[in-house]
Chain A
Amino acid sequence: MTIRPTRNTDLIRSSRFRAEREAGWKKLETLLSWAERSGVGALRYEQVHELASLYRQAMNSLSVARSISMDKALLAYLEALCARAYLVVYAPQEGIRGAIWRLFSEGIPRAVRRSSLPLLIGFLAMVLGAVVGYVLYFQDPGWYFTFVPPEMSDGRAPGASVEYLRSTLFDDGGRNKETLGVFASFLFSHNTGIAIFIFALGIFVTLPSFVLTFYNGLLLGAFFAMYAEAGLAYEVFGWLSIHGVTELSAICLACAGGAQLGLAVLLPGNHTRRQALQIAGHDAVKLIILAGLMLIVAAMIEGFLRQLVQDTAIRLAIGWGVGLLWFLWLGFAGRRHNMPAEIEAQA
C-alpha cells in the first residue's frame, strides 16, 4: 500500500478503503468489458494474469466491504463487479472438440455400462410389447387395426395378398436415389423427435416412457406377425433387421434414459428428489445423445441401404454387423484397467 496524501486522512475509514482500491476495480472493469465483448481468448497473457489477480482482489474487497462499509452504492457496485468477473473467470474452458472427444471415447460407453437397470426397463418394454403384439395378432388379426394407425399401414393390412406384402419388402417404392436423401433426413428428424420425447417424458416417474416404448413394441409385434402369417417371416426379419437393430435399440436407449430420470424421482434414496434427478441426469443425458447418434445411423441405413440392398441375407449381415459394432464400442471403449466386467446390455 502506498502512502496516501494527507488529504485522505480526512476521509472516514470506509471511504479510505474505497479510495485505495478504486483504481484496481476500474482496471478490472475495463478488462472485463474487453473479455465480454471479444472473449478471454482476445486478451494477452499478462492481461489474463492481471484479470485473475484483480478478480481475487475484488472478491476480497467485497468480503471486507460487507463488514466495514455502509455505503450501499459501493456494495452494490462490488457485488455486480464480482458477479461479472466470476462469469468471465469461470466460463467453460474446454474446447468443444475436446469435450466431444471425451464424450465419445469415455463418457457414453461408461454411462451405458453403469445403467443396467434402466436399460433392462427400456429393452423389456420393447420386447414385452413385441411379444404381446405378436400373440394378440394370432388370437385375432383385428388387433392389428387397433395398434397400427391407418396412415402408417399403407395397405399393409391382414388379408393383403402375399405378393403385395412381398413387394413392400423388396421394392424400392419407386424412389430414385435423389429422393432417398430426403427420405433419410425425414426419418432422422421424425425418429429423433420421438426419441427425445420418450426420454423427456421419463421424468414423470418412468411410466410414460415405458408405455410409449411398449406401444412401439406392440406395433412391431403385430407387424411382424402379419408377415409371418403370410409366410414371409425370414424376409421381414431381414427387412426390419437392417436398420431396426440400430433404430429400435436407440428407442430402447431413449426409454432407458427416461427411466433413469423416472427412477430418480421414484426412488431418490438418501438424496432429495431434486438432487437425485441431478445425479441421474448425468448418465441419462449421455444415453439420449447416444440414442440420437444411433438414430442418425439408422436413418442412413433405412433411407439408403434398405432400398439399395435387396437380398435378405445381406440385409441381416449389415443390420447385425452394425449392431455388433455398437456393442463392441459401448462394451469395451474407455474401460479402466481394473474395472469389474459389467452386464451385457446391448441387444
Chain B
Amino acid sequence: MSNRAENIRPPEGVPISFEIASGGSRFGAQFLDILITFGGLLLLFIGLIWAGLIAASMLATLFLLLIFFIRVPYYIFSELVWNGRTLGKRIVKIRVISADGGRLTPHQIVARNLMKEVEVFMPATTLMSGTLESGWVGLALGGWMVGVLLVPLINKKHLRLGDMIAGTLVVDNPKAILLPDLAVRKSVQKPTFVFDASHLDVYGRYELQTLEEILRESPKSPQAIARISEVARTIQRKIDYVEQVLPTDYWDFLSEFYRQQREYLESRQLFGDARESKFHNKNKQE
C-alpha cells in the first residue's frame, strides 16, 4: 500500500482502503471538464449558428442559460447520475466517495460543487481576464486566491474546501486483478528442499512479500537470471542453508522457500506471533 491510502469504514465494519487521487489527476479531471463543457458549448453554438434554425434572441437566451448550466449545475448533475464521477473524472479514472463510509448523498454533491465557484471559477476567470486590481486590494485578493488554490496541496488528503464542507474524498477507481497463488505447487512431487524452523525463523512478512514480488515474473534476460541467483545465494547464506543448491535449481529453491516460509509465518501469526520483518527478534529482546 502506498502512503496515499485512506481507510473507509463501510457499515459492514471491515475497513477498506482507497488510494487518494493525486493532485495531478484532480487538476487533469478539472481541466478536462472545463474543456468538455466550454468546448461542447462552443461547438454547439457554431453548429446552431451555421444551421441558422434558431432566431438570434432565442440563441442569446439559450447561450446565457447554458453558460450558467455548465458551471456549478453540470458538476452536480453528473456526479449525481454517475455516482461521484464527472466526465473528466471518468476519463482520468477518479471518483468522489463519502468519507464516512456511507453512500454519497445529494447534499454532499451539491455542497462540494457549490464551493467550486470560489475555488475554481473565480480565480480562473480573474486570472484569464487579467483584471487584477492594483494596490493592496489586488494584492490581498491575489494572496487569498493563491491561498485557496494551495489548500488542496498542503493537506494530506488533497481536500478542497468543498470536500471539507461536504465530507467527501476524491480517490482513484479501484482496480482488481487477481494474480495466481505462488504457494500452489505446479507439479505434484515431494519437496526437494526442506527447511526447518531455524531456517524459517530469520525472515518476516516484509521479506516474504518482497520475495513474492520477485517471483511474480520468471526471469528471461541474463540480468534477471543473474539477479535471481544473487537473491538465492543471499538467502542461502543468511539462513545458513548448508546443502548444495545447483544454479539450475535456484528458481525452484526460491519458490519452495517462499511456500514453506509463508506457511511457517502464517501459522506463527495464528499463534499470536506476528513477524513484520527480519528485525522481529531484536524487538523482542529489547
Residues of A within 8 A of B (CB): 7, 10-15, 18-19, 22, 25-26, 29, 56, 59-60, 62-63, 67-74, 77, 79-84, 86-87, 90-94, 96, 99, 178-179, 181-182, 184-186, 188-189, 192-193, 196-197, 199-201, 203-204, 261, 274, 277-278, 281-282, 284-285, 288-289
Contacts and interface: CB of A to CB of B under 8 A. Distances in A.
A63 B15 CA distance: 8
Given A67-B269, A189-B65, A196-B72, A90 B80 contact: no
A10 B188 contact: yes
A262 B133 CA distance: 25
B197 interface: no
**8 tightest A-B CB contacts, nearest first:** A83-B174, A80-B176, A200-B118, A73-B179, A12-B263, A80-B174, A90-B103, A185-B64
A90 B14 contact: no
Contact of A70 (B10, B174, B188, B205): B205
B184 interface: yes
Contacts, number: 176
B134 to A, nearest CB: 17
A77 B165 contact: no
- Contact residues on B (Cβ < 8 Å of other chain), bracket: 35 or more
B68 A188 contact: yes
Given A92-B80, A284-B111, 14 more contacts: A15-B181, A59-B10, A59-B16, A74-B178, A79-B16, A86-B8, A91-B103, A185-B60, A185-B61, A185-B65, A189-B64, A196-B72, A201-B118, A281-B166
Contact of A14 (B104, B106, B266): B266
Nearest to B72: A196
Contacts of A67: 269
Nearest to A200: B118
Contact of B80 (A11, A18, A96, A184): A96
Given A73-B212, A189-B67, A15 B177 contact: no
A79 B5 CA distance: 11
B198 interface: no
A80 B177 CA distance: 8
B176 A71 contact: no
25 contacts: A11-B183, A12-B266, A19-B181, A56-B12, A59-B10, A59-B14, A71-B181, A71-B212, A73-B182, A79-B16, A79-B174, A83-B17, A86-B10, A90-B11, A90-B102, A91-B103, A92-B83, A99-B106, A181-B57, A182-B61, A186-B64, A203-B115, A203-B165, A284-B111, A285-B111
Contacts of B262: 12, 14, 70-71
Q: Which of B81, B164, B270 has the most CB of A within 10 A?
A: B164
Contacts of B103: 90-93
Given A181-B58, A188-B68, A278-B165, A200 B117 contact: yes
A62 B114 contact: no
B122 interface: yes
A91 B183 contact: no
